[in-house]
Amino acid sequence: MNRKDAASVDGPRRPPNYPIESVDNALRLLVMVAEHQHVRVSEASAELGTAVSTAHRLLAMLAHHDFVVQDPESKVYRAGPVLLRIGLKAVKNLDIRTLIHPFAEGLRDEAGETVHVAVLQGAEMLFVDCAESPQALRVVSRVGTKMWAHCTSVGKAWLACESDDFLRGLYPSQKLPALTARSITSRSALLTELAEVRRRGYAHNEGESEVGVGSVSSAVRDDQGRPVASISVSLPLVRMAEDRWDGLAESVQRVCRSVESLLP
């Protein structure tokens, strides 16, 4: 639905008594980005009727808050992770956690281990849901916490769905922060690892985010191939026999494909 369609539903809309031009322009830009695959600064300037410098500053602020991302080579802007998550929730009032939770519980029961659901926020993964293992020795819920995406299997599964240009924008420095001695600490090593994740179809973690903890993850993607969530099975490495990785990976991938079949 475009702006004219939206206005026709409820009749003509009167402007607010005290309009704020900068807010109006920012919101118009968000609509423009949402409706077009790519937006250039010159196009934004023409649409808003502002100077190119003004449009550039507005887009830079939206990029700062992850509503848009800029391709470092073409310099065009596209929808960022925040805007995509808002859009996902708005479509038919879909709550990704509500959709995934029964699958997470089923996977927990099948594997006997903790299952997490996470989404990308900036360069970190936010854990939004959990089905916790009933075993005494288990990975506990991380709901509400954030971890560096490149240090987690949920993060690597998500990042593997993104382009190398997006990744270079997300990680402008070659050096990456670490959570443990096993964490990936360079952008080049991360890009190599993500290429392998794309080939396998899943990501794994052996003590990279927390000592003694391992996990296997895959991403849930929309019909455009964009990630909307990552699902993981996490467990103490003392229970991760070498022949168990493949079985857990198959289970996680199967669950992700099942969730995808229900997305609008």
Q: What percent of the chain has pLDDT over 90?
A: 58
- Could you tell me if 67 and 194 lie in one domain? no
- Establish if 253 belongs to a structural domain: yes
What CATH number corresponds to the domain at position 110? 3.30.450.40
**pLDDT per residue over 162-199, tens digit each?**
998 899 899 999 999 999 999 999 999 999 999 999 99
Same domain, 147 and 242: yes
The larger pLDDT score, comparing residue 36 to residue 196, is at 196
Q: Please list, in sequence order, all residues whose beta carbon lies within 8 angstroms of the beta carbon of residue 17, skipping any fewer than 6 positions away.
A: none
- 71 with 174, same domain: the answer is no
Longest dimension (CA), the chain: 66
Task: Please indicate, yes or no, whether residues 23 and 143 belong to a single structural domain of this protein.
Answer: no
Residue 235 is assigned to a structural domain of this protein: yes
- Does residue 41 sit within a domain? yes
Same domain, 250 and 125: yes
- Strand pairing category for 213-221 and 227-236: antiparallel
Tell me the backbone φ, ψ of residue 17, rounded to 5 degrees. -65, -35
Residue at a domain's end among 23, 49, 79: 79
pTM for this model (two decimals): 0.66
CATH number at residue 12: 1.10.10.10
Average of per-residue pLDDT values in the chain: 87
Q: CA-to-CA distance for 149 and 155, rounded, in angstroms? A: 4
Report pLDDT for 14: 66
pLDDT over 50 at 1, yes or no: no
Residue where a domain terminates, one of 56, 79, 102 = 79
Q: Is residue 86 part of a domain?
A: no
In a domain, 178, yes or no: yes
> Is there a single domain that holds both residue 61 and residue 117?
no
Same domain? 64 vs 178: no
Domain that holds residue 174: 94-260
Domain boundary among 24, 44, 79: 79
Closest CA to 205 of 157, 247, 254: 157
Count CA atoms within 13 Å of residue 144 on its CB side.
Answer: 2
* Domain annotation covers residue 87: no
**pLDDT (tens digit, 9 = 90+) per residue, 91-148?**
433 478 889 999 999 999 999 999 999 999 999 999 999 999 999 999 999 998 999 9
Whether residue 152 is predicted with pLDDT greater than 60 in this model: the reply is yes
Please tell me the total count of domains within the chain.
2
